[in-house]
Every structure is written in C-alpha cells, then in structure tokens.
A and B are shown apart, each in its own frame.
Chain A
Amino acid sequence: AQKVTQAQTEISVVEKEDVTLDCVYETRDTTYYLFWYKQPPSGELVFLIRRNSFDEQNEISGRYSWNFQKSTSSFNFTITASQVVDSAVYFCALAGAGSYQLTFGKGTKLSVIP
C-alpha cells in the first residue's frame, strides 16, 4: 500500500521568510512519481512539480525548490522569500508505476502573514 505523510497540518510565516513543507512517502514500487500541488481557496489544483523515482536531482524554479531524498523517502518543498499569494493548502502526492492513481497526503495549510 502507498502512503504519503505531511506531518505539518498548518504553518504560519511572516512574509519574506523561507518555509519548508515536509513530505514523507511509503511505497513498494521501485518506479514511482511524486507530485506537489497547490490548492488555493478557489479549490482548483495547481500543478507545481512531478518527479520520477530515478531522478534524485534537486530542482529549483524561481522561489520554489524541492529536495528529493530517496534514502529517507522524503520529497520536501521549500518556498524562499514567501509572499502572501503563497497562502494555500499544499498537497504532496504519490503515483505508482503505470497509473496516475494518486495517493495524496493530508495537505499543509500555509498562511503567509503580511
């Protein structure tokens, strides 16, 4: 069975602070995909990143960066110099090989205070 754990339920930071959202996963698959999505109050899921299990390189996209550590089964997400517009619920998700049936974590609600 697959499992995604986002231990942080809610985080509040002051604008311009850096914040890291944790994601730990469990899977028996050797090939799998990890995702991060942003869900603003309007509800739609905004795709942030997809990473396959064979690519352990960290990735940076603007103020966003991701740290994939296969040894600890973690795929953490850092927002640098946070902004009020970053306030949302962030979901980490996992898909096994061959299917995009996603297993989502419970989400982390990020509040960025001006």
Chain B
Amino acid sequence: GAVVSQHPSRVICKSGTSVKIECRSLDFQATTMFWYRQFPKQSLMLMATSNEGSKATYEQGVEKDKFLINHASLTLSTLTVTSAHPEDSSFYICSATTSSWPGELFFGEGSRLTVL
C-alpha cells in the first residue's frame, strides 16, 4: 500500500535554531498534504494545508513566518520550524492524499521535536 514517510522521526535542537521536517509520499503523487501538531497527551490539531506548487493555507493562530511550509513537488512537503523555542516542542505529523476526491488518505509516522 501507499506509504508516507517523515524524516527525521526525532530531533533535538537548541533554542533559536531552525529545524526542517520532511514528509514524502513514497509511491503516489500527493497533490495535497496536511500538517498537524500534537502536544503531549492532547489531540492532533491541523496547522496547515499544503498544495503542490502553491502557498500553504494556515489555520487560524498558526504563525506563517514561524512554521514555513513548502510543497515543491508532488511527493515532498517540508515543514521548517524557524527560531524554535521550547514551547514548539511537540509531535508533528503529516498526511497526504491521492488526487481526486475521495481518494485515499495516509499519515506519516510523525516527528518528535524537542527544543532545549
């Protein structure tokens, strides 16, 4: 079956640095990808919707300049957490859909970010 891969699965960084997380669809073209954030013991909250070749659409309350999303190809979307701070420590998970509704939806394995 189709697989969505995230990398890295775990990352630890110092406060003030930037971290990039990749989300790849391995055997299908993903015109749309979604990024979610999950704080410990909480639910998943949608951060943004990423469409290939266009700007991401951010949910209310998500800082565009802090969470940079790039979807440059049909198989890759990246989330860059800029100038990370300890409060950005979270589990970030992406999902990808195949083209044409309803298609299929697949989640990546998630990336755990810890900012020291």
Question: Residues on A close to B: CB < 8 A?
Answer: 33, 37, 43-45, 47, 50, 52, 91, 95, 97-107
Is B34's CB under 8 angstroms from A100's CB?
yes
Q: Is B105 in the interface zone, CB < 8 Å from A?
A: yes
Chain A interface, DSSP helix/strand/loop, else mixed? loop
Is A43's CB under 8 angstroms from B91's CB?
yes
Determine the distance from Cα of A12 to Cα of B47 in the docked complex, in whole angstroms.
32
| Chain A proximity of B23: nearest CB distance (Å) | 13
Q: How many A-B residue pairs have CB under 8 A?
A: 46
Is B44's CB under 8 angstroms from A100's CB?
no
Is A43's CB under 8 angstroms from B101's CB?
no
Determine the distance from Cα of A63 to Cα of B45 in the docked complex, in whole angstroms.
29
How many chain B residues have a CB neighbour from A under 8 Å?
22
Is A100's CB under 8 angstroms from B43's CB?
no
Is B102's CB under 8 angstroms from A106's CB?
no
Q: Is B52 in the interface zone, CB < 8 Å from A?
A: no
Is B102's CB under 8 angstroms from A47's CB?
no
Determine the distance from Cα of A53 to Cα of B107 in the docked complex, in whole angstroms.
22
Pick the residue among B46, B95, B105, B110 that contacts A43 (CB under 8 A): B110
Is B43's CB under 8 angstroms from A43's CB?
no
13 A-B pairs with CB atoms under 8 Å apart are: A43-B91, A43-B112, A44-B107, A45-B107, A47-B106, A100-B32, A101-B34, A101-B49, A102-B34, A102-B36, A102-B44, A104-B44, A106-B42
| Chain A proximity of B16: nearest CB distance (Å) | 26
Is A107's CB under 8 angstroms from B43's CB?
yes
